[in-house]
Amino acid sequence: MLRLILASASPRRKELLAQAEIPYEVLPANCEETAPFGVTTAELVEELSLRKAEAVSLREKGDMVVLGADTLVAVSGHILGKPVDEEDAFRMLKLLQGNTHTVYTGVSLIRVWDGAEGERRREKRIFHEASDVRFYEMTDEEIREYIATGEPMDKAGSYGIQGMLARYIAEIRGSYTNIVGLPLGRTFKELKELCKEDLPELLGKTD
C-alpha cells in the first residue's frame, strides 16, 4: 500500500494536508538543521527539506512517498527561523513590521519502492515557493501583546499568518498556504507527477 509520510511534526502542515484531503502519517525526521555556508535562502530551505525527507526515507520500509518541508523568512538581508525566546521574537517582529518580507518554503518529495530485483528504487522532487508579505506598522506594545499569546514561539519569523497577527497584514503576493508552511497547490502537482497512475492508491481511492 502506497503511503504518504510527513517528515515533520508541524501542526500547520498536518492541517493543510487534512484540508486538501490527502491521507498521511507523521514520522518526524529529527535531523540536523544547521545552515551550510554561502547558500541563498531558497537553496537553504530546499536543503533542509531534503535532509528531513532523506532521514525518514532511509529508515522506513515499503512503498512510500516522504514529504519533507522547511520554512524560513527573509527580510533586509536577514534569515529568520524560529525564535529562541521572547526577546528574539520581539527582535524579529521589529524587523518585519512596516516592511515587506519573503517567506520561503522548501519541499522535498521522495518516492521509494522495491524494484523488480528487490532493490530499493528512489525518485525525488525538490522545489521551493516564495511569497511576499507586508505588515502594517506595529507599536512595541502591540508586538509585546502578540508575543504574550505564545503564538510566535514555534514559527519561522515569529508569526503565524493564520492567527491573531492577521489583523496587521497589509498585503500578500504569492501562495497563502506557502506562508502557513506548505505550498499545497505546487505540492499536489508534484505528487501527481511523482506518483502518476498510483495517485488514487496514495489518496485512498482505490476499490
Q: Looking at the domain assignment, is residue 61 inside a domain?
A: yes
Q: Which CATH number does the domain housing residue 159 bear?
A: 3.90.950.10
Which residues form the catalytic set? 70
- Chain segment 114-159, per-residue pLDDT in tens: 887 778 899 999 999 999 999 999 999 999 999 999 999 999 999 9
pLDDT score for 205: 76
In a domain, 147, yes or no: yes
Is 45 part of a structural domain of the chain? Answer: yes
pLDDT tens column, 73-115: 999 888 999 999 999 999 999 999 888 999 999 999 999 998 8
Q: What is the pLDDT of residue 207?
A: 58
Q: Residue 140 domain-assigned? A: yes
Nearest to residue 93, comparing CAs of 155, 41, 173? 155
With residues binned 3-state (H G I as helix, E B as strand, rest as coil), the percentages for the chain, rounded to 5, are 40, 30, 30
C-alpha–C-alpha distance, residues 136 and 206, integer Å:
48
Per the structure, how many domains does the chain have?
Answer: 1
pLDDT at 199: 93
Residue 28 lies in a domain: yes
- pLDDT > 80? residue 31: no
Kindly state whether residue 25 falls inside one of the protein's structural domains: yes
- For residues 62 and 66, which has the higher predicted lDDT (pLDDT)? 66
Domain range enclosing 17: 3-202
Q: Which grid coordinates belong to 111?
A: 518516492
Residue 77: predicted pLDDT:
83
